[in-house]
C-alpha cells in the first residue's frame, strides 16, 4: 500500500513588536536570549556556540558575535523594540548591547538584574598561592640584604 506524500507546511511565526533581551554575562561565557513580553523564548545564542572556545569565549568580541547571531534568529518575528536585562559581571555586557542596537533594534530600557546577596551564603575561601623560596638569593653584600 502506497503512503500519501508528506507535505511540509511552512511554520507561520507570530509577529511580536516588543521583546526582552536577557544577557547573562559571566566571566567565562555570554548567553543572549530574546523573549517576548511574557517570557517565551524566541531565540538565543552563546559565545561558546558561536565558535569561540577557551579564553576567547570570554571576550567582548565573542559576546558581540553571539548578540548578532541571536538578532538574526529573531528577525522573522518582526521585533522592533527591545528592553534589555543584563545579569552578571562579565566582559560582554556593553558590547552585547551595542551589537543589538547596531542590528536594528530600538533599545527602550536597560536594567541590571545581577543578583546581589543580602549577606547570604558564605563566599569560598581565597585560593592559596605557593611561594617559592630560593636558597642563597638573600645573601649579604656590603651589609645590605638583597630582595628586601
Total length of the chain: 148
Tens digit of pLDDT for each residue in 60-79?
999 999 999 999 999 999 99
Averages of pLDDT over runs of 10 residues in the chain (148 residues) are 71 83 96 95 94 92 96 92 95 94 94 93 84 63 56
In a domain, 60, yes or no: yes
* pTM as predicted: 0.74
Residue numbers of the domain that contains 39 = 18-112
DSSP 52-92: --GGGGGSHHHHHHHHHHHHHHTGGGT--EEEEEEESS-TT
| pLDDT the model gives residue 82 | 94
Give how many domains the chain has, as a whole number.
1
CATH (domain of 83):
3.30.420.80
| pLDDT the model gives residue 44 | 96
In a domain, 28, yes or no: yes
In a domain, 138, yes or no: no
In a domain, 55, yes or no: yes
In a domain, 12, yes or no: no
Whether 14 and 77 have beta carbons less than 8 Å apart is answered as yes
In a domain, 121, yes or no: no
Amino acid at each position: 500500500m502506497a503512503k500519501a506524500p508528506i507535505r511540509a507546511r511552512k511554520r507561520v511565526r507570530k509577529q511580536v513588536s516588543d521583546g526582552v533581551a536577557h544577557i547573562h554575562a559571566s566571566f567565562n561565557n555570554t548567553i543572549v536570549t530574546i523573549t517576548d513580553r511574557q517570557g517565551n523564548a524566541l531565540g538565543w545564542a552563546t559565545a561558546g556556540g558561536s565558535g569561540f572556545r577557551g579564553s576567547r569565549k570570554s571576550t567582548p568580541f565573542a559576546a558581540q558575535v553571539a548578540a548578532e547571531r541571536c538578532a538574526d534568529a529573531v528577525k522573522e518575528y518582526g521585533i522592533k523594540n527591545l528592553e534589555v536585562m543584563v545579569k552578571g559581571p562579565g566582559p560582554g555586557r556593553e558590547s552585547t548591547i551595542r551589537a543589538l542596537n547596531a542590528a536594528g533594534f530600538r533599545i527602550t530600557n536597560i536594567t541590571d538584574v545581577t543578583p546581589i546577596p543580602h549577606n547570604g551564603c558564605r563566599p569560598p575561601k581565597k585560593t592559596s598561592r605557593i611561594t617559592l623560596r630560593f636558597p642563597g638569593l638573600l645573601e649579604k653584600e656590603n651589609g645590605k640584604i638583597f630582595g628586601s
